[in-house]
Structure 1
Amino acid sequence: MRLNGLNILITAAGQGIGRASALAAAAEGANVFATDINSEALASLSAENSSIRTSRLDVTKQSEIDDLAAKLPKMDGLFNCAGIVHNGTVLDITDADWAFAFELNVTAMMRMCRAFLPGMLERAGETGTASVLNMASMASSIKGFANRASYGATKAAVIGLTKSIAADFVKQGLRCNAICPGTVDTPSLRGRIAASADPVQAEKDFVARQPMGRLASVDDITPMVIYLLSPESRFVSGQAMLVDGGVTI
């Protein structure tokens, strides 16, 4: 019960790392508030664990974020998990894809923090600590990878935003960290593999870049999520925490 009684908000909780994190946080005693743009995915999450409270949320819409912030209690933890992966070099990027990658991967994260930090700072004043966790990546933000130009740029920006928030509020008990996973076996990854010209080879290529010789499962990532959201990490802030199977050794 490492999150016992804490209010934790998770975006993109309908599938993948977000869903696994919502379930793991609930198992650790948190009051979990799960959001996603996909209502069916949220209904499936509620069916799996009825204690998790769900709300449909498009994190690119400021009005929806503000409405949710007005309805929910003050948060002890916020996991900004929503994001998108675009494939291609700088020569392949369209202005629209570049803009949307930053809108979803970075700007939406900033807006979530802006909306929920006032309540989190109050909670930090009451309990001694509160935690923001932002989804970054080891891909191109920490280590360069081919065909990840816009994605890597956004994830590097996430790390910069994370460190800025950490520096601004470290004296008020609010911590902010980023998590940088390796290649994780999620519905998003499966979709990208299926869309490739040679799905069998694409999967082999994803596995080959992991020194441990396999893709990560979501359960390889959630222990770090729980640690960074919990008071156990109360002396950790401004860090980009790698969970990458040794890719960046």
Structure 2
Amino acid sequence: MTSVRDFEGLNALVTGGASGIGAAIAALLLERGAQVAVLDRDTAGAPGGTLALKADVTDDGAVKAAVDAAAAEFGALHTVVSNAGVGAIGAVTDNSDDEWHRVLDINVLGMVRTARHAVPHLRRAAADRPGAVSITQTCSIAATAGLPQRALYSASKGAILSLTLAMAADHVREGIRVNCVNPGTADTPWIGRLLDQAPDPAAERAALAARQPSGRLVGADEVAAAVAYLASPAAAAVTGTALAVDGGMQGLRLRPAN
């Protein structure tokens, strides 16, 4: 258990916070002193001690109700972590229009809806806690590197990267910082399901690990630590930043091992 309590007196909302990276983020913010609300379609896995709010990010009314409920319960909202999202596999020829609409609706418009309804609460909080009010969005290495069989997923994450920069510019003078994290291939339930579908799950896991210079998958707790930094008062001067948590996948070009 960490002894850091840098979120004491701060209130956070984490979308997609009942599993995987989102649950790790919610648990870490709670551990570091925040009051935490989790917005998810299925809240069964929400960490103990969080306020569980059932909502689907494709439903604008449900998102508004959940965001408003968190702000009302806590009295203010300082930190939003927009993490809800889905994966997609295939080249540009492989997914139908319906699938493109579905994934973009969740991954991109889900973050738009969350921010749309959170920003009024964040504006009010920013006057009392300068530097401590933020939105952090879960993006991906897929936004900045070309990955095979990820056309739709990459397009959605590229949109999130651009959205993060635009939102940071729009809200910096209001005291709201906006950043994103770009995980590499993370050891999450979605990756687990992907591996289960492979002809040789062990070989597929080894291949995914090998394409990261660190030689392993990224842990959900490592992504959570990066989010906690970006959302914390220690990052008061950080906005419009994409923080890679990818084992060196984006920036390193190693020679083949002997």
Shorter-chain TM-score tier: over 0.9
Q: Which residue of 2 aligns with 1:36?
A: 40
Residue 138 (structure 1) aligned to one of 125, 141, 150: 141
> What one-letter code is carried by the residue in structure 2 that aligns with 1:134?
Q
The answer on 1:62 being equivalent to 2:55 is no
CA distance in 2, matches of 1:221, 1:72: 24
CA distance in 1, matches of 2:83, 2:67: 17
The answer on 1:200 being equivalent to 2:202 is yes
Q: Which residue of 1 aligns with 2:27?
A: 23
> What one-letter code is carried by the residue in structure 2 that aligns with 1:212?
S
State the Cα distance separating 1:174 from its structure 2 match: 0.5
State the Cα distance separating 1:245 from its structure 2 match: 0.3
> What one-letter code is carried by the residue in structure 2 that aligns with 1:131?
S
Would the aligned equivalents of 2:54 and 2:66 in 1 still touch at CA under 8 Å? no
Moved >3 Å (runs of 4+): none
> What one-letter code is carried by the residue in structure 1 that aligns with 2:61?
S
Partner-residue secondary structure (3-state), 2:117: helix
CA shift digits 1:51-100 (9 cap, x unpaired): 21111111110110121233222310000111111000001121111111
Q: Which residue of 2 aligns with 1:246?
A: 248
CA RMSD of aligned residues (A): 1.1
Q: Which residue of 2 aligns with 1:219?
A: 221
Unaligned residue ranges in structure 1 (runs of 5+): none
Q: Which residue of 2 aligns with 1:96?
A: 98
Identity among equivalent positions (%) equals: 32
CA shift digits 1:182-235 (9 cap, x unpaired): 111111110111012332221121111111111111122121111111111110
Would the aligned equivalents of 2:13 and 2:70 in 1 still touch at CA under 8 Å? no
Count of matched residue pairs: 242
CA shift digits 1:77-126 (9 cap, x unpaired): 00011111100000112111111111000001001000010110111122
CA distance in 2, matches of 1:39, 1:131: 23
> In terms of mean alpha carbon deviation, does 10-19 or 31-40 score higher?
31-40
State the Cα distance separating 1:40 from its structure 2 match: 2.4
Q: Which residue of 1 aligns with 2:126?
A: 124
CA distance in 1, matches of 2:33, 2:43: 24
Unaligned residue ranges in structure 2 (runs of 5+): 252-258
Seen in structure 2, the aligned counterparts of structure 1 residues 41 and 123 have a Cα distance that, compared at 3 Å, is: same
CA distance in 2, matches of 1:196, 1:85: 16
* TM-score (norm. length: structure 1): 0.94
CA distance in 1, matches of 2:163, 2:67: 20
CA distance in 2, matches of 1:5, 1:54: 19
Would the aligned equivalents of 2:57 and 2:110 in 1 still touch at CA under 8 Å? yes
CA distance in 2, matches of 1:6, 1:90: 42
> In terms of mean alpha carbon deviation, does 226-235 or 61-70 score higher?
61-70
Counting only pairs closer than 5 Å after superposition, residues 154-233 of structure 1 correspond to structure 2 as 154-233=156-235
> What one-letter code is carried by the residue in structure 2 that aligns with 1:221?
V
Would the aligned equivalents of 2:126 and 2:176 in 1 still touch at CA under 8 Å? yes
CA distance in 1, matches of 2:10, 2:110: 23
CA distance in 1, matches of 2:192, 2:69: 35
Partner-residue secondary structure (3-state), 1:121: helix
* TM-score (norm. length: structure 2): 0.91
